[in-house]
């Protein structure tokens, strides 16, 4: 009777555990360790902004055209070396900037703040040229500065020759390098605030009107936890995106390069969902460095615009080599997945084990050693060895 009751209890608990696992209340192995998403692009990477740990990668070191994601580095350098309220006088070389434009005219004066918004939101190529001229005097010296800052941020497989990302065979980067540059940039609060801005109005003196700038990063409106950064496109580069997101204290950056089929926004969302599932919840943040543009300008001996926030003890960051998945998160997943199995195993052992004592007729099973016993039955006396004893 007792064994039957235990078997019934075992089946009841088994049904409860299966039901909880199926409904998602009790995490299954698949929920604890989701499969990496499929990305329709030539190269991609997902990085933890807090530590630089790589959570996902696909050809991360393949050489690609960055297109307008170049402006991430351009804007960051301007923020470190310039003052937002400075008036920038537009030079004639802005007229050579093809592609997206806010139609700047030589001699026009705009604040650095407005030019940066035009560059980040509308991806204005002429604004990027104006910013480069303001910082370094010309785009050639500014490109030297870009390469020096990128190298200090750990982006050693890139080469930049212009501030806006227009196609040039000598203008290239990798998904890993772009992630490292974006990681450094997003640690600048002004930069992070600008790239998350949806709209901005700047003066348009020639038309006695305002330019209404709208952020072309659709990831901001598509993904609930999005925080930035910058998309890009050229015929050669195809769709390129650097995106960032933050959730429950986890900050991520994803880079997708030369995307195929137009699903770049969906792929970025899937990467972020995967990252939030596998990234460690609590980590010791690793600084990507500080004041890299100031240090690079000094090393190159460039006469640049004065910085409103001079760097203190600039420390170049060093990217981790071959970063590995966080061990704590892996073990947490294993423990969560194994709890239902451990419970079922223990319950099954309890249900089928032999009871220590069981009544049989007039005798009770005992673990005492067998000894000779005299038993009288029907007027006769028997002597035998048995593990049974009278009740």
Which amino acids are annotated catalytic? 68, 71, 123
Find out whether the peptide bond into 229 is cis, omega within 30 degrees of 0: yes
> Using CA atoms, how far apart are residues 119 and 123, in angstroms rounded to an integer?
4
Rounded Cα distance between 336 and 347, Å, is 18
For the record, the structure tokens of 47 come out as: 């990085």
Strand (E) positions, 49-105?
54-58, 87-89
**Taking the CB of residue 158, how many other CB atoms lie within 10 A of it?**
24
Answer yes or no: are the C-beta atoms of 390 and 371 closer than 8 Å.
Answer: no
In 3-state terms, what secondary structure has residue 248?
coil
- Hey, which residues does 173 pair with through a beta bridge? 64
**Closest to 279 measured CA to CA, from 211, 330, 344:** 330
Task: Give the number of other Cβ atoms within 10 Å of residue 357's Cβ.
Answer: 8
Contacts of 206 by beta carbon, 8 Å cutoff, 6+ apart: 105, 108
Helix (H) or strand (E) holding 116: helix 112-121
Question: Alpha-carbon distance 24 to 32, whole Å?
Answer: 11
Structure tokens at 133: 């001229």
């Amino acid at each position: 009777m007792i064994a039957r009751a235990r078997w019934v209890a075992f089946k009841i608990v088994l049904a409860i555990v299966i039901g909880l696992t199926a409904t998602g209340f009790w995490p299954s192995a698949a929920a604890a360790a989701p499969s990496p998403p499929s990305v329709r692009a030539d190269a991609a990477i997902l990085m933890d902004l807090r530590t630089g740990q790589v959570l996902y990668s696909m050809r991360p070191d393949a050489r690609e055209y960055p297109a307008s994601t170049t402006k991430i580095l351009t804007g960051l350098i301007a923020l470190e070396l310039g003052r937002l309220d400075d008036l920038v006088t537009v030079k004639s070389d802005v007229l050579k900037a093809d592609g997206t434009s806010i139609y700047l005219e030589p001699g026009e004066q705009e604040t650095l703040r407005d030019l940066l918004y035009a560059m980040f939101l509308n991806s204005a190529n002429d604004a990027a040229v104006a910013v480069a001229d303001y910082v370094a005097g010309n785009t050639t010296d500014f490109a030297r500065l870009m390469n020096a800052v990128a190298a200090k941020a750990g982006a050693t497989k890139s080469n930049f020759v212009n501030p806006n990302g227009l196609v040039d065979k000598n203008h290239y980067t990798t998904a890993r390098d772009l992630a490292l540059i974006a990681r450094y940039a997003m640690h600048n609060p002004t930069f992070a605030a600008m790239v998350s801005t949806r709209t901005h109005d700047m003066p348009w003196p020639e038309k006695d009107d305002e330019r209404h700038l709208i952020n072309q990063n659709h990831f901001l409106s598509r993904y609930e936890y999005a925080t930035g950064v910058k998309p890009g496109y050229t015929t050669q580069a195809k769709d390129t995106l650097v995106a960032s997101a933050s959730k429950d204290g986890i900050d991520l950056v994803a880079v997708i390069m030369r995307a195929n089929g137009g699903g770049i926004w969906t792929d970025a969302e899937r990467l972020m969902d995967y990252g939030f599932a596998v990234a460690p919840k609590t980590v010791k943040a690793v600084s990507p460095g500080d004041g890299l543009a100031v240090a690079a300008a000094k090393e190159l001996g460039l006469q640049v615009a004065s910085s409103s926030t001079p760097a203190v003890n600039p420390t170049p960051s060093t990217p981790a080599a071959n970063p590995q998945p966080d061990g704590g998160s892996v073990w947490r997943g294993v423990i969560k997945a194994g709890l239902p199995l451990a419970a079922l195993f223990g319950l099954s052992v309890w249900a089928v084990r032999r009871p220590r004592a069981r009544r049989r007729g007039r005798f009770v099973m005992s673990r005492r050693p067998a000894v000779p016993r005299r038993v009288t039955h029907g007027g006769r006396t028997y002597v035998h060895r048995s593990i049974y004893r009278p009740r």
